[in-house]
Amino acid sequence: MTKILANDGISLSGKEKLIAAGCEVDTTTVAQEQLAQHILDNKVEVLLVRSATKVRKDLIDATKGTLKFIGRGGVGMDNIDVEYAREQGMTVQNTPAASTRSVAELVFAHLFGLVRYLFDSNQKMPLEGDSQFKALKKSYAAGIELKGKTIGIIGFGRIGREVAGMAFGLGMDVKAVDPYVAEAEVILPFANGSEMKFTVKPEPMEAVLAASDFITVHIAGAGKAVIGAKEIEMMKDGAGIVNTARGGVVDEVALLEALDSGKLRYAGLDVFENEPTPALKVLMSPYTSLSPHIGAATLEAQDRIGTEMADHIIAAFS
């Protein structure tokens, strides 16, 4: 019987699938400093994590011979020393497809809120709505529509293409940056089963930044800023940025300076350089729409993550 520790949890559907396959699934959350000993004492062969638990060299060394499979529910594996674990003979697997739709929808949740200033009005209406209704109405009268605007997508993998499909559905122009993609087909599905197909050819970063009303970032980045002061200067005046990828791929200092100066109009951030304690200046900016790293936090995505990971584990141990 394969023993599994889902240290950061797993969906009920994923757990049930694993149990039906004869696995033993423990959803106890073990403290980081006690994790290695817990794995050894309980002969845990599979460790499942999200972003909270870290799987670094020390944990890998301590559990070598017992731990055989490390699963990351979600896309990024920044919290796992992936190559080192594989060198030790461990299997490391993520679920890259499961959260694609949920992250893409969050991009547009931020965009819709930004262009109609909902991020600001939702804070001010409870405080001033009864006394300053007309003034607030006037202050939010400069909203714009997404139709006819250009969205620049940095990183044209699964999520980038899902964002592109939604953008096409809204009547937006789509531009993309990805040095590893020469051309990509984007499919826009409809509820009746029909679909439309679009072809997108990525362009140089400079051209996309200059042409886009909104920039959305979908690359891992490995902590390196892809959008900094230089890139922001290339953007349209009054443009917006959305980052649902990784904290650090957008330089927060440069972003705040651009927002304060009026170079950029607004930004939507789901990820931050200092998680779980984002910089206060970022949190207090009047130009930012904020969410606490919830890109994959939908019931549907969690369900897909659990069942996709269960399939990987069953295949690995069968």
Pairwise CA distance, residues 35 & 129, whole Å: 50
Q: 3-class secondary structure for 265-298?
A: EEEEECCCCCCCCCCHHHHHCCCEEECCCCCCCC
- Residue 181, CA distances (Å) to 133, 199, 225, 231 in order: 49, 12, 21, 21
The verdict on whether 293 is a catalytic residue reads yes
* Catalytic residue (choose from 218, 246, 265, 304): 246
- DSSP-assigned beta bridge partners for residue 71: 48, 93
Q: How far is residue 176 CA from its own chain's centroid? A: 17
* Catalytic residue (choose from 87, 195, 206, 275): 275
* Catalytic residue (choose from 16, 38, 105, 293): 293
| DSSP letter for each residue of 172-217 | -EEEEE-TT-S-EEEEEE-TTS-EEEEEE----HHHHHHH-SEEEE
Within 10 A of 180 (CB to CB), how many other CB atoms are there? 8
The verdict on whether 38 is a catalytic residue reads no
The verdict on whether 105 is a catalytic residue reads no
Active site residues: 246, 275, 293
